[in-house]
């Protein structure tokens, strides 16, 4: 089968330049690349289609064609002013007027349209709906993150609708998402909760029915086992181990350095709620006796003592974290340091797994939760928030693959950590690892996509929600009244 992945935002190149350095180069690109490669591995012809630009600040994206090792083509098609990188919020005017006609022309030049497409985020979703309309190519839609929830959250922060729309283009985004989910032959979500909660938002009423099983396919993403597997090896595994040992010497009291650890690795973001781990330690003498607490902090090497490299949000979290460590009498029990890149992180996990350690994620809400699964693959026992994806990935009717905790309750977190560090460690670590190998690999994701794509071809729908003419022929922009209607109806 010949498949096209439409992902206009960010960009792709064989070196994965800018990943995590820019908001449009985050988890979505990792996801698209991995699903595409896994499908190519199964023998399918796969293209990732993104945007061509000749911007000297982004020189990697000037060629019309590139490829990932593994046989996935990267096709870059002009979309608006091709002399500049555009952030995803600025792409809307050009998708239907420029980008999709360019994609159709490209395939016409090759003499054949792909058999099916898959659209990513509202922008890629709108584009696949337009491609289907222009050339009959059926498609699946993967929203990744829907605009309505983000709009609600930002509105609650007190900014006006007009200001938020000017910055984030919510009227265009919601309209595009409605079109994408309505025209798609199948909508792909990572969890059942995502289907119910995100697509059940009032802004999507009349575009999709979350009780309709024929519209949805739950296909979880996977863990990169070549990086995070317990048997994988970083090119400099022992160097990473030495770095960890050095940092423990720097931060942890001498008589405690051989203890297991509770390791957390997430952005220093209030949503990830890392301070709750320090509060949990402060609340439990048993926990303090059993383990140290370690934060892996990306580019920040000594964030308990130094502000160097931290942005405003990280500084807010650090202030609270330092205060919690001091107030809880935890100095010498807590380490925080950075390692760069996924391969080094996985080496850290393996090092701590060999000391019977536990990975912890106490986010207030975690939509899917790939990080706990990566840690489980590397051999750590896992404790994770009960709010969101981990409640599906770490527990099912057959058993428990990690410990779920209430992220707002330090006593419950402490109890979960004590359990995972105790005699159940071997069973939990083995069950978590098995769970990932059985259910959360990119190969499984690719198989899920193939099934969804086949159903999409049978279900193919179009024109139920008309495509707004703003996207196609430069008609007046989508009005603020429409945004008001969608968010209040
Ligand atoms: O790759 C970045 C990502 O993970 C994408 O899914 C999406 O672009 C973004 O984060 C979240 O989008 P938003 O904040 O616009 O909802």
pLDDT digits (tens, 9 = 90+) for 406-417: 999 999 999 999
In the reported structure, the alpha carbon of residue 299 is separated from the centroid of ligand 1 by a whole-number distance in angstroms of 21
pLDDT digits (tens, 9 = 90+) for 25-60: 988 999 999 999 999 999 999 999 999 999 999 999
Q: Whose CA is nearest to atom 5 of ligand 1?
A: 28
What pairs with residue 187 in β-bridges? 141, 216
- Compute the distance between CA of residue 101 and CA of residue 121 in angstroms, rounded to an integer: 19
149 lines ligand 1 (CB under 6 A): no
Mutate to test the pocket of ligand 1, among 16, 20, 23 (most ligand atoms within 8 A of CB): 23
pLDDT digits (tens, 9 = 90+) for 291-334: 999 999 988 999 999 999 999 999 999 999 999 999 999 999 99
pLDDT at residue number 107: 98
User: By the 8 A CB rule, do 88 and 99 touch?
Assistant: no
Residue with tokens 């973001």: 269
Mean pLDDT of 235-254: 97
User: By the 8 A CB rule, do 178 and 207 touch?
Assistant: yes
| E-only strand ranges, 143-219 | 186-189, 216-218
Classify 3 in phi/psi space as left (phi over 0), alpha (psi -120 to 50) or beta: beta
Measured in Å, how far apart are the chain's first and last C-alpha atoms? 42
| E-only strand ranges, 20-159 | 45-51, 65-68, 72-77, 116-120, 139-142
29 lines ligand 1 (CB under 6 A): yes
pLDDT digits (tens, 9 = 90+) for 152-168: 989 999 999 999 999 99
Counting Cα atoms < 13 Å in the Cβ hemisphere of 344 gives 15
Q: Whose CA is nearest to atom 16 of ligand 1?
A: 145
What pairs with residue 68 in β-bridges? 72
Please list, residue by residue across 281-305, b when 16 or more beta carbons sit within 10 angstroms of its beta carbon and e when fewer do. bbbbeebbebbbbbbbbbebbbbbe
Classify 340 in phi/psi space as left (phi over 0), alpha (psi -120 to 50) or beta: beta
32 lines ligand 1 (CB under 6 A): no
Q: How large is the C-alpha radius of gyration of the chain?
A: 23
In the reported structure, the alpha carbon of residue 19 is separated from the centroid of ligand 1 by a whole-number distance in angstroms of 13
- Compute the distance between CA of residue 62 and CA of residue 262 in angstroms, rounded to an integer: 45
Mutate to test the pocket of ligand 1, among 33, 122, 145, 154 (most ligand atoms within 8 A of CB): 145
| 101 CB neighbour count, 10 Å cutoff | 17
pLDDT at residue number 460: 76
Domains assigned to the chain: 2-222+443-488 (3.40.50.2000), 225-439 (3.40.50.2000)
């Amino acid at each position: 089968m010949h498949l096209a992945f439409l992902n206009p935002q960010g960009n792709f190149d064989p070196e994965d330049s800018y990943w995590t350095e820019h908001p449009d180069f985050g988890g979505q690109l990792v996801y698209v690349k991995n699903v595409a490669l896994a499908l190519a591995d199964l023998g399918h012809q796969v293209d990732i289609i993104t945007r061509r630009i000749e911007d000297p600040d982004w020189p990697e994206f000037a060629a019309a064609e590139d490829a990932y090792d593994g046989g996935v083509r990267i096709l870059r098609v002009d979309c608006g002013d091709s002399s500049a990188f555009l952030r995803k919020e600025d792409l809307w005017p050009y998708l239907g007027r420029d980008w999709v006609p360019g994609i159709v022309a490209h395939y016409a030049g090759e003499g054949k349209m792909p058999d099916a497409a898959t659209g990513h985020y509202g922008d890629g979703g709108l584009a696949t709906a337009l491609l289907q309309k222009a050339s009959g190519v059926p498609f699946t839609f993967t929203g990744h993150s829907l605009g309505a929830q983000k709009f609600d959250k930002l509105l609650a922060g007190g900014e006006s609708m007009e200001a938020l729309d000017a910055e984030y283009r919510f009227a265009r985004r919601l309209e595009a998402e409605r079109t994408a989910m309505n025209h798609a032959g199948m909508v792909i979500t990572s969890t059942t909760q995502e289907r119910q909660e995100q697509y059940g938002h009032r802004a999507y009423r009349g575009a999709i029915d979350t009780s309709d099983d024929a519209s949805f396919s739950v296909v979880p993403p996977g863990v990169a086992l070549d990086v995070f597997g317990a048997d994988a090896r970083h090119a400099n595994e022992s160097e990473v181990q030495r770095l960890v040992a050095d940092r423990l010497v720097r931060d942890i009291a001498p008589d405690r350095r051989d203890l297991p650890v509770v390791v957390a690795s997430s952005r220093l973001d209030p949503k990830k709620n890392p301070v709750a781990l320090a509060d949990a330690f402060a609340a439990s003498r048993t926990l303090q006796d059993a383990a140290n607490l370690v934060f892996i902090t990306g580019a920040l090497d000594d964030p308990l003592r130094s502000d160097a490299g931290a942005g405003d949000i990280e500084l807010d979290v650090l202030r609270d974290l330092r205060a919690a460590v001091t107030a809880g009498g935890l100095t010498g029990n807590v380490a925080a340091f950075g390692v760069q890149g996924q391969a080094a992180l996985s080496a850290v996990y393996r090092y701590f797994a060999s000391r019977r350690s536990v990975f912890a994620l106490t986010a207030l809400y975690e939509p899917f939760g790939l990080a706990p699964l990566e840690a489980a693959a590397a051999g750590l026992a896992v404790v994770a928030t009960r709010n969101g994806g981990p409640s599906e990935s770490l527990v099912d009717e057959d058993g428990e693959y990690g410990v779920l905790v209430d992220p707002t309750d330090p006593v419950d977190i402490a109890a979960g950590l004590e359990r995972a560090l105790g005699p159940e460690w071997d069973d939990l670590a083995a069950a978590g690892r098995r769970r990932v190998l059985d259910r959360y690999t990119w190969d499984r994701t690719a198989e899920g996509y193939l099934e969804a794509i086949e159903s999409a071809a049978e279900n193919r729908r179009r024109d139920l929600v008309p495509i707004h003419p703003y996207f196609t022929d430069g008609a007046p922009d989508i009005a603020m009244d429409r945004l008001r209607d969608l968010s209040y109806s």
